[in-house]
Amino acid sequence: MGTEHIRNFSIVAHIDHGKSTLADRMLELTGSITDRDRQEQMLDSMDLERERGITIKASAVTMKYELDGKEYMLNLIDTPGHVDFHYEVSRALAACEGALLVVDASQGVEAQTVANTYLAVETGAEIIGVINKIDLPAAQPQVVIEEVEHAIGLSKGECFPISAKSGEGVGELLRAVIQLLPPPEDHSDEPSSALIFDANFNDYRGVICYVKVVGGKLRTRQKIRLMGTGRTYVISEIGKFAPQMTAVDELGSGEVGYVIANIKELADVTIGDTITDDANPAEKPLPGYQPPAQMVFSDFYPGNNTDYPKLRGAFEKLATNDSSFTFTPQSSPALGFGFRCGFLGLLHMEIVQERLEREYDIDVVQTAPTVSYEVITKDGETIRIDSPSMLPDPSHIEALKEPYVRLEIITSSDTIGGIMTLAEGKRCQLIKTDYLSKTRVLLEYKAPLAEIVYDFYDLLKGISHGYATMDYELIGFEKSNLAKVDILVNKKAVDALSVILHRSNAEVRGRKLLQKLRKAIPKHQFEIPLQAAIGGKIIARETIKAYRKDVTSKLYGGDVSRKMKVLKKQKEGKKRMKSIGSVQIPQEAFMSILDTSD
């Protein structure tokens, strides 16, 4: 098929605006699925995606559609909407010439809508506006179209009102995809080159590469080379997602599909690498992607029914299907051997933890998440650390840098005051305020990631009665007045509990931390002092009282010295126990550090 009859497009939107439902209707309208195969969220293959109603992995599908007597090939890539999976969206857009920007007709433009528009513009994709859910009683399509025009710059003629649930307007939208979105450029006479925009691992077939062919053709049994690694393979199967994997003989210029070439490990494939013909290679690789940047780090240790090798095996399997998840061995005097894991955000971390429990029946003890910091040493060297325990001796540190993000919040105008107070308390600096309509406003902040990555989103939802949305993007590291706060339990520092805080609120936060720990750690037979310290200076202290048994209850009358003798013996026993006893720290104690609410 000639490239003029191919359209490669992506569906992008804020979370829960109806991307997956729109993809389902398109599959039905084009006859790609039968009534027997029909189900909700057709392109979401993971159980977690269906239960939570969110898309975690981008997925591709090829549809055939006839218009004015001509057959067209529509390659659709459905993408996630949550801020943690921003990276998946950027990869999908790079494989497309166009994007459908879906906006909920009852909720209007949200933070992720604006962020995805920036992504699409950066990759040069043409945008068609889609105003979804027009069948809802609260829908205001005309108001939302004006918001889209103001915030994104799309004119009214480029926005299509639809209902993905009922299918109303989806036919017109498919026609617009063909008429308004550009076809891929024709490079069929050039050497073979294909962009790998995603990959996953299959136990029986090895790595399945999702590709967009840019130049030439890819055929079965062709000897190919991965330009990034220089390794060569022979294609054993090539095909398209329709929506099930369907083998074909070849993929031409502009087409999207999959390649299986007996690649044993996902680590052998780099997302953004170029596949080319080994005998007649392309002159230069295609523009790839920036590697995903882990934003949040947490330590995972084996729990009650799990041993270390079992946890390592589960992590290795998870990493084969998720290139944005990393893990490195770690040990702690308090918790033994475990792993330091890197995630794109808190939702990503939650999903990995849930998959460990469900798919591998693994119980883990997890420490509070931290962000990565940059340390400038006295020698002028810059070191990236992702755990407070990795911080060098304070005498070797010249300066500490923390990550800052550009934070965008869209909210109703009557809740601006509360949100501004919250942002100021989290050390955020207001950059601009932009009214999208009479009742909705966009606030842009420069914010320290450490302050917003934990509970900021929950507090924001509470203040705005659930209406505010946020999106953030890393802008770099900046010097900050930070300090490592060590938590001492029974006068022993517990690495897994130490945190890096801004000095202005280190004492207050340290005391609150100890108060939470005092409630989370159960009483022992001896008194347990809890201390927060910066260097050698104790900045806060709490005490967990010992269990007290009434040892004098058996004494009847007699001299008071008998009573004193028994109490002295008990006191000596407690003292000896305190020096040799070990404190059992439950999982709740580590998670209490995560909760920074008062």
Instruction: Identify the CA nearest to 573 among candidates 542, 548, 544.
Output: 548
* Per-residue confidence (pLDDT) for residue 49, from 0 to 100: 44
* Per-residue confidence (pLDDT) for residue 563, from 0 to 100: 77
Is residue 217 a known part of a binding site? no
Report the alpha-carbon distance of residue 483 to residue 499 in Å, rounded.
9
Are the C-beta atoms of residues 302 and 308 closer than 8 Å to each other? Answer: yes
Beta strands in 413-458 (DSSP E): 429-435, 440-448
Are residues 237 and 270 located together in one domain of the fold?
Answer: yes
Q: Estimate the crossing angle of helix 111-123 against helix 86-94, to 10 degrees.
A: 30
Q: Which phi and psi angles does 21 have, rounded to 5°?
A: -70, -40
Is residue 413 a known part of a binding site? no
The upper half-sphere exposure of residue 122, i.e. CA atoms within 13 Å in the direction of its Cβ, equals: 13
Q: Which phi and psi angles does 72 have, rounded to 5°?
A: -120, 150
Is residue 16 a known part of a binding site? yes
Are residues 588 and 449 located together in one domain of the fold?
Answer: no
Inside any domain, residue 597: no
Are residues 200 and 213 located together in one domain of the fold?
Answer: yes
Are residues 431 and 556 located together in one domain of the fold?
Answer: no
Which residue range(s) make up the domain with 443?
374-479
Inside any domain, residue 446: yes
Inside any domain, residue 287: no
* Per-residue confidence (pLDDT) for residue 27, from 0 to 100: 84
Are residues 151 and 249 located together in one domain of the fold?
Answer: no
Are the C-beta atoms of residues 193 and 182 closer than 8 Å to each other? Answer: no
Are residues 430 and 528 located together in one domain of the fold?
Answer: no
Residue count of the chain: 598
Q: What is the CATH number of the domain that holds 440?
A: 3.30.70.240
Q: What is the pTM of this model?
A: 0.72
Q: Which residues contact 132 (CB under 8 A, 6 or more apart)?
A: 13, 17, 18, 21, 22, 102, 103, 104, 105, 162, 163, 164
Are the C-beta atoms of residues 345 and 475 closer than 8 Å to each other? Answer: no
Inside any domain, residue 598: no
* Per-residue confidence (pLDDT) for residue 34, from 0 to 100: 61
Given 479, 494, 528, which residue is the final one in a domain?
479
Is residue 134 a known part of a binding site? yes
* Per-residue confidence (pLDDT) for residue 196, from 0 to 100: 85
Are residues 28 and 47 located together in one domain of the fold?
Answer: yes
Q: What is the CATH number of the domain that holds 339?
A: 3.30.70.870
* Per-residue confidence (pLDDT) for residue 37, from 0 to 100: 55
* Per-residue confidence (pLDDT) for residue 423, from 0 to 100: 92
Are residues 171 and 199 located together in one domain of the fold?
Answer: no
The upper half-sphere exposure of residue 382, i.e. CA atoms within 13 Å in the direction of its Cβ, equals: 8
Beta strands in 266-307 (DSSP E): 274-277, 296-302
Are residues 363 and 403 located together in one domain of the fold?
Answer: no
Given 215, 243, 277, which residue is the final one in a domain?
277
C-alpha distance from residue 466 to each of 48, 136, 457, 461 (Å): 23, 19, 10, 4
Report the alpha-carbon distance of residue 437 to residue 594 in Å, rounded.
36
Q: What is the CATH number of the domain that holds 546?
A: 3.30.70.2570
Instruction: Identify the CA nearest to 116 among candidates 147, 168, 155, 80.
Output: 80
C-alpha distance from residue 227 to each of 14, 132, 362, 537 (Å): 35, 41, 38, 55
Are residues 365 and 378 located together in one domain of the fold?
Answer: no
Is residue 135 a known part of a binding site? yes
Is residue 386 a known part of a binding site? no
Are residues 82 and 132 located together in one domain of the fold?
Answer: yes
Q: Which residues contact 417 (CB under 8 A, 6 or more apart)?
A: none
Are the C-beta atoms of residues 266 and 319 closer than 8 Å to each other? Answer: yes
Is residue 236 a known part of a binding site? no
Inside any domain, residue 286: no
Inside any domain, residue 150: yes
Per-residue pLDDT of the chain (598 residues; tens, 9 = 90+): 678 888 888 888 877 788 878 888 888 888 876 655 555 544 444 454 444 444 444 567 888 888 888 888 888 876 665 555 566 677 777 778 888 989 988 888 887 788 778 878 888 889 999 999 898 888 888 888 888 888 888 888 788 898 888 888 888 988 988 998 888 888 888 888 888 887 877 888 888 888 888 888 888 998 988 888 888 899 899 988 887 888 888 888 888 888 998 888 777 887 778 888 888 888 888 876 666 677 788 888 887 767 888 888 888 878 766 777 888 888 776 677 888 898 887 778 888 888 888 888 888 877 777 888 999 988 888 888 877 878 888 888 888 999 998 898 988 888 899 999 999 988 999 999 988 888 889 999 999 988 887 778 888 888 988 888 888 888 889 999 888 888 888 888 877 778 888 888 888 888 888 888 888 888 877 788 889 998 888 998 998 887 766 656 667 666 777 778 877 887 777 666 555 556 667 666 666 665 555 4
Report the alpha-carbon distance of residue 91 to residue 554 in Å, rounded.
75
Is residue 20 a known part of a binding site? yes
Given 369, 392, 417, which residue is the final one in a domain?
369
The domain total for the chain is: 5
* Per-residue confidence (pLDDT) for residue 428, from 0 to 100: 92
